[in-house]
Amino acid sequence: MEEIMRRRTFLGQATAVGGLGLLAACAPGSDSPEPGAPAGPSADEVDTDVAGMGELTLTVWDQEVRGAQNEAIEALRAEFTKKYPNITIERVTQSFDDLQQQTALALSGNDVPDVLQVNNARADMGEFVKAGQLTDLSGYAEAYGWEDRFPASVLSKARYSADAVTFGEGSLWGLPQTGEIVGIYYSAKKLTALSAQPPATWEDLLALVEAAQKAGEQPLVLGNIEGWPALHVFGPLQAASVPVDEIIALGMGNAGADWTSEGNLQALAQMADWGAAGAFGDSPNGLDYDAAWADFTKGTGVLLIGGSWLGPDMEKVMGEDLRFMAPPAGLDGTVATTGGTGLPFAIPAKAKSPAAAAAYIDFITTSEAMALIAENGGMPVLDTASLAPASGVNKEIYEAFDAVSTDGTLLPYLDYATPTFADTAANTLQEVIGGQKDAAAGADALQKDYSEFTAGS
């Protein structure tokens, strides 16, 4: 799961990678694609008779290289070929960074895999959709019942309009296996020492931060030298004062929202106040992310707002003292927090065997597949609560993800918004926390990037 977290750092390089995707789409010797993705097959055109497809080899590119994830994919590959011996799966594994670069190059040519994982940010999936390089999976989704299988908030992370102007709505371009959620880790012992309960409301959380500081404790732990970790604090906090539909529009880079709204100013002001008061410690912008959560396991701080991928490693040190909860309900009255999915599995527009590719994607996202992923230590994107461990922090993480993804709102990572927003947001939040920018100036910087992109999209 920690490697999934690392993927967030790569989004900070979105401008360079996105540029590679654009250059690859018009590479010398290749035809410049028409803008807008071609239509995929309708549901009644989809062939789901895998056994009747004849002997064929399915080429799959993925970055499921970590131990547990690799074991799950290998087990699923074995089960798929056992059920369909006419299909041979040629699996090519790469690191996320390598896969990201190779995908941009491969999709511009004719020698493409049948299935590949694609980062769903605008700089990657959005550019590939715009260039007509991915298959619209809407017909497959209807034929296999994916819209019944997956919550809408999960599928939205892989939806774009055919021209890629709108992110979060429109056609489906990929299907994920695993989930991620940002929530609140806390030390049960420290809450007991403070005579406090886990915060049920945002008012409770603000009061807990104040009480911890008065008691001589560092309330919040944040290592923000890389810039992006502050987005994982700001994202949940934003939901306390900003409607979810506005956050989704901002996070997905869709027109119609405004970073300078009263709610966003309130959230930015809270980050500034916490920074000025030392609630994040003496120098959060000078502390490495990994060092910060390691400090938390050794007793620094009461709360750490961070991603689900941190749980297993922190639990190894803290044991039962480590607890996890989804943030309190937001402005809209339901729980909304930053989260997402593992990289969705997509089908290139030039795939040789798209019907078999769709059958493979269907197979690795069934309930049985989710159980196998959980058995191997991953967090499945479906059936999460029922597959949760019997105890421990992962039980609470699984249950929180299930509650948010089914009954609440899984908000997009804010760095999805534009090809340059990862850097803009990281730099802005560092300056807000460090006191170099006030809330209004921070909102103006965020709005400038967002509005320039949406005006030209």
Residues 301, 368, single domain; the answer is no
Kindly state whether residues 189 and 262 are assigned to the same domain. Answer: yes
DSSP 3-state of 291: helix
By three-state DSSP, how is residue 86 classified?
coil
421 and 305: one domain?
A: yes
| Helices within 113-220 (DSSP H only) | 127-130, 138-144, 146-149, 152-155, 188-193, 202-214
Does any domain span residue 405?
Answer: no
Please provide the distance, in angstroms rounded to a whole number, between the alpha carbons at the two ends of the chain.
34
Q: Are residues 172 and 184 in the same domain?
A: no
Are 217 and 202 part of one and the same domain?
Answer: yes
* Residue 299 within a domain: yes
Q: Show the tokens assigned to 75.
A: 């087990």
**Same domain for 121 and 132?**
yes
Q: What CATH number is attached to the domain comprising 138?
A: 3.40.190.10
Flag whether 450 is in a domain.
yes
Query: 170 with 117, same domain?
Result: yes
Q: What is the DSSP letter of 380?
A: B
What pLDDT does residue 298 have? 97
**433 domain residue, yes or no:** yes
Q: Give yes or no: residues 163 and 188 share one domain.
A: no
User: Do 170 and 202 lie in a common domain?
Assistant: no
pLDDT at 457: 65
Whether residue 401 is contained in a domain is answered as: no
Indicate the SS3 state at residue 181.
strand
Q: How far apart are CA 194 and CA 188, in angstroms?
A: 10
**Is 427 in the same domain as 313?**
yes
Distances (CA, A) of 67 to 22, 295, 389: 33, 26, 19
> Domain limits at 151?
2-178+342-383
Determine the pLDDT at residue 23. 30
Is the distance from CB of 58 to CB of 161 less than 8 angstroms?
no
pLDDT of 36 reads: 53
pLDDT digits (tens, 9 = 90+) for 290-347: 999 999 999 999 999 999 989 988 999 999 999 999 999 999 999 999 998 989 999 9
The model's pLDDT over 27-49, given as tens digits with 9 standing for 90+, comes to 323 333 344 556 689 999 999 99
Q: Do 50 and 85 have their domain in common? A: yes
57 and 204 housed in the same domain? no
Residue 400 in any domain: the answer is no
186-213 residue pLDDT tens: 999 999 999 999 999 999 999 999 999 9
What total of structural domains would you count in the chain? 2
Res 97: pLDDT = 77
Structure tokens at 166: 């709108």
Number of neighbours of residue 339 by Cβ within 10 angstroms: 28
Listed as ranges, residues in the chain with pLDDT below 50 are 1-35
Return the amino acid letter for 25. Answer: A
* Any domain includes 394: no
